[in-house]
């Protein structure tokens, strides 16, 4: 039996513990995030940017899960705390910003899925400038949500192309599905000030749901609607300051007497545009009953001239514009100042 040298030493290889590996991963992830933020690495080429995004978002968590499973879930208290911290960093840096960014666009993304026209700017600025009246003067300014960290944008892809719900100013509704989606997310559109509705392609039930939704949309100051307008529907536009009505087709249609009376009774109406729809001469005096109307645009034919002159006298506080065809430049008929 060979003799054992008393002076010899035995070398034992020690593998790093699970706690050490997890702690190293946590430190590396935090260091990489700090480097991306401070040194601007996310401004380099797209491939490197995407790779860094994937590394931050997925790799540390995937390795931690693999190590946990490979050790058959035998974790010490310290290892469990480190693993929890690693997962918390993953959620804070990846899941939370992605969720907030996507949730801020939930309404607009669903509207776009139904091919709804939406805009985060106003298309009526020139018209308001011409009139010298802007109904949005008291509209609250709603800032956009904070931008997503640059290293997450490649992972989000085209999901961020939709505008933030709180910045949408205009929407056009032409189908029932569009209107239903709009009503479902109406509270999210806090900056919305203009809505256009094509009634000919909407069902009566949809028009009724829109009618019930107006009180919950105080930011809306302008409504554009096409004929035929259901009787009683305009009465719900009590907070609206600007109303435009068109015929809904190339054939000019006549606005009903009931619709004209409803418009005259709106308590907040300041500007009314009827250049793309006919109003019977006998119904024009109803508009003089409005106590708030200050800007009126009419489509005028020869037989209407006398009634228009009477309307000018009966409503001296209102600036009246007239056209003989819908596409003509506006011509002021009354000398009244706004």
68-94 average pLDDT score? 63
Listed in sequence order, the residues at least 6 apart from 225 whose beta carbon sits closer than 8 Å to its beta carbon are 196, 197, 199, 234, 243, 244, 245
- 164: pLDDT strictly greater than 80: yes
Distance CA 186, CA 165 (A): 9
What does each C-alpha distance from 103 to 100, 181, 195, 255, 285 come to in angstroms?
A: 5, 15, 23, 41, 49
- 111: pLDDT strictly greater than 50: yes
> Out of 65-79, 99-113, 205-219, 317-331, which region has the weakest mean confidence (pLDDT)?
65-79
- 299: pLDDT strictly greater than 50: yes
Q: Nearest Cα to 138, choosing from 215, 216, 193, 213?
A: 193
- 98: pLDDT strictly greater than 70: yes
Q: What is the mean pLDDT of the chain?
A: 78
Residues 46-65 pLDDT 10s: 555 556 655 665 665 666 66
Q: What phi, psi does 274 have (nearest 5°)?
A: -120, 30
> Out of 160-164, 169-173, 179-183, 265-269, which region has the weakest mean confidence (pLDDT)?
160-164
Angle at 155 between CA 152 and CA 160, to 5 degrees: 80
- The reported pLDDT for the residue numbered 51 is 60
- 263: pLDDT strictly greater than 90: yes
262-270 average pLDDT score? 92
- Predicted model pTM: 0.68
Contact in structure between 202 and 225 (CB atoms under 8 Å)? no
8-18 average pLDDT score? 55
Higher confidence at residue 317 or residue 42? Answer: 317
> Out of 5-19, 107-121, 298-312, which region has the weakest mean confidence (pLDDT)?
5-19
- The reported pLDDT for the residue numbered 53 is 58
Higher confidence at residue 218 or residue 125? Answer: 218
Can you read off the two tokens belonging to residue 105? 């666009």
Q: How confident is the model at residue 338 (pLDDT cuts 50, 70, 90)?
A: very low
- The reported pLDDT for the residue numbered 207 is 94
């Amino acid at each position: 039996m060979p003799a054992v040298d008393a002076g010899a030493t035995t070398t034992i290889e020690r593998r790093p513990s699970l706690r050490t590996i997890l702690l190293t991963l946590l430190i590396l992830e935090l260091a990489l995030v700090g480097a991306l933020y401070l040194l601007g690495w996310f401004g380099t080429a797209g491939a490197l940017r995407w790779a860094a995004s994937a590394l931050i978002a997925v790799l540390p968590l995937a390795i931690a899960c693999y190590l946990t499973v490979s050790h058959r879930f035998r974790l010490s208290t310290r290892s469990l705390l480190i693993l929890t911290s690693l997962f918390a960093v993953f959620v804070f840096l990846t899941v939370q910003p992605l969720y907030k960014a996507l949730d801020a666009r939930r309404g607009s993304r669903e509207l776009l899925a139904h091919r709804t026209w939406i805009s985060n700017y106003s298309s009526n600025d020139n018209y308001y400038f011409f009139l010298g009246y802007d109904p949005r003067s008291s509209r609250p300014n709603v800032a956009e949500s904070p931008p997503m960290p640059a290293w997450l944008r490649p992972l989000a892809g085209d999901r961020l192309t939709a505008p933030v719900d709180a910045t949408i100013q205009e929407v056009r509704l032409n189908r029932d599905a569009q209107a239903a989606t709009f009503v479902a997310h109406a509270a999210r559109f806090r900056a919305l000030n203009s809505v256009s509705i094509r009634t000919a392609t909407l069902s009566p039930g949809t028009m009724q749901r829109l009618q019930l939704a107006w009180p919950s949309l105080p930011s809306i100051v302008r409504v554009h609607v096409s004929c035929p307008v259901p009787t009683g529907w305009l009465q719900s536009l009590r907070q609206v300051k600007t109303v435009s009505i068109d015929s809904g087709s190339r054939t000019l249609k006549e606005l009903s007497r009931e619709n004209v009376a409803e418009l005259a009774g709106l308590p907040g109406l300041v500007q009314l545009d009827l250049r793309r729809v006919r109003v019977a001469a006998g119904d024009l005096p109803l508009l003089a009953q409005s106590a708030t109307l200050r800007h009126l645009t009419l489509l005028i034919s020869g037989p209407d001239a006398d009634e228009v002159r009477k309307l000018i006298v009966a409503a001296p506080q209102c600036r009246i514009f007239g056209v003989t065809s819908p596409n003509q430049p506006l011509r002021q008929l009354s000398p009244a100042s706004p």
